[in-house]
Amino acid sequence: MKKHLSHNLLSSISLGAILLTSGAVQTSYAADEGNAVLEEITVTARRRSESLQSVPVAVTAFSAENLAKFGATDITFLAQSTPNTTLKVSRGTSSTITAFIRGIGQQDPVAGFESGVGIYLDGVYLNRPQGAVLEIYDVERIEILRGPQGTLYGRNTIGGAIKYVTKRIGDEPEMRIKASGGTHGQMDILASASAPVTDALALGGSIAYFSRDGFGKNLNTGENHYDKDLFAIRLSAELTPSENVFIKLSGDYTKDTSNAKGGHRLTVSSVAHGSAPILDNVFDTRSGLAGKQEVIQKGIHAYAEWDVSETVTLKSTTAYREDETVSPIDFDSLPLNFMDVPVIYTNDQLSQEFQLVYEAEKVQGVMGFFYLDANAFNEFDVILSDFGITSYTFGDVNTKTWAISGDVNYDMSETVSVSVGGRYTSDKRTSEVKKQTFLGLGSLPFGNESSILIATKANFIASKTFNKFTPKVSLKWQPNDDVNVYASFSQGFKGGGFDPRGDDRAIVGFESETVNTYEIGLKSTLVDGRVSTNIATFFSDFKNIQIPGSVIVDGDFIGTTTNAGKAEIWGVEFEGKALLSDNLTANANVGYINADYKEFIVGGVNVADDRNFQNTPEWSLNASLNYEQPLNLFGDDGDINLIGSVSYKSKTYNFEVETPLLDQDGYAILDLSLVWTAEDGSIQVGIHGKNLTDKEYKVAGYNFPSLDTVTAFFGNPRTVTATVDFRF
């Protein structure tokens, strides 16, 4: 089925306008009795192939062809065209993800904190955010599901899920070479090949290198700043020992050696720190912490699928992954050894999932078992030269979780169906935390043998188990193929843990958080198949929200994590696309979200009215036009697409407490692509302009005003990239 779908998507390129920004897997048109209509979109949001317009889930999907036509490079780009979704590169990093959906997420990447948004690579849950800014290559599709997930697959995730699915090997030998070059010294190269070896065995592989000189300079070291230097490889073997058995073995490796990323100071430094003025270029820095940044991640994965009968399929997903990050982070972005943070992250995980899928005429269902054994380790110094001390933090967190889940859909009639599901999850978190203060600039564990231990503020091993049953139910009424009305209730859950940066008080830990989400949706196909609209409204009752933070106590850096009592989140999401003519396609999406804390106790006082939801703009909008025209080029009757897009996000808070210097006012991004595709899809040539107005916008930062440190990190400036893609 997947191979057939992929073939249809590729062959439909010459049929009509293809457009990314609505988020559709395929926004082209096909002939229907002589009339142009929107092509049906197929997704697997409920662990089986269904039409996007018929599935009772708020999901946005992107095909490989759409992503290529718009020149998307990594998954953060998807947030521009997905309502109420934030995907950003975390502060001080090049490849750690910060993900929020409908106001729920987690921006702190240290061990001990679970993500609120699940990211899956070929069905494998990525337990940690390091290295999760996935580059887009060798991909079949990406799906973004909004709202709690967990009754159908994988980990329980409270905010939503992002599913990155790589391409399966085709029936014929294939080769691909793609080269890209552009501003700021960009030079990317991708090569892939796959072929059936025998009737039962097929092999494939991809190798890619992504590079860029940088958007600015480190004025202290002379290095390029905001550069890219990333190597990646994927290998796979697919086996079909019989007609009803499919096995895929795969492995991947990524090495990112981009330079360390420093912040842009938003205030003039004090006299004690050199009275350094604010730099003109927001991509320049004066960061002084020496050392190279390196992020290595790798994994192996075995997937097996057995069609036991016409109605029953058994599936197994087994995976092992590990990653290591070595990074010099300079909080204050000055040459002095003040607020310098050398950090090491190492993570590993072993996961196993079994599924039984049942598909009959009136009943469809999934039953599953999920197990994860993961370790997240970090240690780092916070060097405070003003006080002549170093705060050392050691955090080693083991997570063992298992869950049993099920989801059954029953067609009560030809037009009405009901789906009922549930999940029982057991999360056991065991944390070893050590926090020490050393006299000297640098701690003994980080190589300063002359440092003197003067205080141990935390030294404990603690363990807690968090158990929870989370239900889900939905009702769908589909009177015809063009209208789908649904209502659903789902509960999400994220286990608690221990803040590895805290003092001995952190042994108490923080509690699990839960959300009850109610959703009503309407999906319609109008004007004889030339227009489609998807509307979803939701309300979420969010309790015990985990709020990590950090403060300076007696000259030391202390982590403080609390559970805010309650919040209410409601919003509306609209996604629409229309064939305005045989040559012109329009897309638009709108997200509105109202997120308010109702109970946030600090020192016995409810400060909810003074707290904001971070990384959650009230409005997110995107509109685009795609004009397609046949054009003979290189002797080939291909098609040329001119695609223009504008996306907007309203004011965004970087922390719960309003921070005027760091909070980003509303801004718009203008993109433009010109792409020619050969009639048979064998050649594609494009030029892609991103952020053409060169808008400066903040995506993250550090805020320690009492220690003369307020720094920001910015989104990419204007870039222009040319690509040539050959397929044989």
Give the model's pLDDT for residue 690.
Answer: 98
What's 90's domain CATH number? 2.40.170.20
The span from the CA of 220 to the CA of 340, in Å, is 14
Give the model's pLDDT for residue 135.
Answer: 95
Give the model's pLDDT for residue 319.
Answer: 98
Give the model's pLDDT for residue 556.
Answer: 74
609 three-class SS: helix
Give the model's pLDDT for residue 57.
Answer: 87
Nearest to 540 by CA among 95, 146, 200: 146
Give the model's pLDDT for residue 29.
Answer: 41
Q: From the first residue on, what is the mean pLDDT of each consecutive set of 10 residues in the chain (728 residues)? A: 32 28 38 55 64 82 91 94 96 95 94 93 96 93 94 92 94 96 97 96 97 96 96 97 96 97 94 90 92 95 97 97 96 92 97 96 95 97 93 96 96 96 97 96 96 95 97 95 94 94 91 97 92 96 91 75 93 96 94 97 92 97 96 88 97 95 97 96 96 98 91 97 96
Residue 527 identity: V
Please tell me the total count of domains within the chain: 1
Give the model's pLDDT for residue 590.
Answer: 97
Q: Is 718 left (phi over 0), alpha (psi -120 to 50) or beta?
A: beta
Give the model's pLDDT for residue 289.
Answer: 85
Give the model's pLDDT for residue 46.
Answer: 59
The span from the CA of 256 to the CA of 124, in Å, is 21
Please give, one letter per residue, the 3-state secondary structure of 606-670: ECHHHECCECCCCEEEEEEEEEEEEEEECCEEEEEEEEEEEEEECCEECCCECCCCCCECCEEEE
Give the model's pLDDT for residue 40.
Answer: 64
Chain centre to alpha carbon of residue 18: 24
Q: Range of 409's domain?
A: 2-727
